[in-house]
Amino acid sequence: MTAENQSWNVGLYNQNASFVSEYGQEVLEWLAPKSGERILDVGCGEGTLALIMSECKAHVVGIDASEDMVEAAKKKGVEAYVMDAAALSYKQAFDAVFSNATLHWVKPPEKAVEGIFNALKDGGRFVAEFGGKGNVETIQTALIESVSKRDKDGKELNPWYFPSPDEYKNLLEAQGFSVEKCELFIRPTPLKTGIEGWLRTFANPFLSSFSEQEAKDIITEVIVQVRPILWNQDMGWFADYVRLRVKAIKG
pLDDT digits (tens, 9 = 90+) for 87-115: 999 999 999 999 999 999 999 999 999 99
Length of the chain measured in residues: 251
Mean pLDDT of 16-23: 57
Phi, psi of 239 (to 5 degrees): -105, 145
- The Cα 229–Cα 141 span in angstroms is 12
Instruction: Identify the pLDDT of residue 26.
Output: 85
Domain of 16, CATH number, reads 3.40.50.150
pLDDT digits (tens, 9 = 90+) for 63-93: 999 999 999 999 999 999 999 999 999 999 9
Percentage of the chain exceeding pLDDT 70: 91
Instruction: Identify the pLDDT of residue 25.
Output: 80
Burial of 249 (0-12, 13-18, 19+ CB in 10 A): middle
In a domain, residue 113? The reply is: yes
Tell me the β-bridge partners of 186. 242
The angle at the Cα of 202, spanning 230 to 154, to the nearest 5 degrees, equals 85
Band (1; pLDDT cuts 50, 70, 90): very low
Residue 150: pLDDT over 60: yes
In a domain, residue 215? The reply is: no
- pTM (predicted TM-score): 0.91
- The Cα 5–Cα 208 span in angstroms is 7
Burial of 83 (0-12, 13-18, 19+ CB in 10 A): buried
Q: Which domain covers residue 66, as residue numbers?
A: 10-135+160-190+241-250
Instruction: Identify the pLDDT of residue 12.
Output: 56
In a domain, residue 219? The reply is: no
Mean pLDDT of 161-183: 99
Band (2; pLDDT cuts 50, 70, 90): very low
Residue 133: pLDDT over 50: yes
Q: DSSP characters for 161-209? A: ----HHHHHHHHHHHTEEEEEEEEEEEEEE-TTHHHHHHHHH-HHHHTT
In a domain, residue 78? The reply is: yes
Distances (CA, A) of 37 to 53, 225, 228: 10, 47, 47
In a domain, residue 218? The reply is: no
Number of domains in the chain: 1
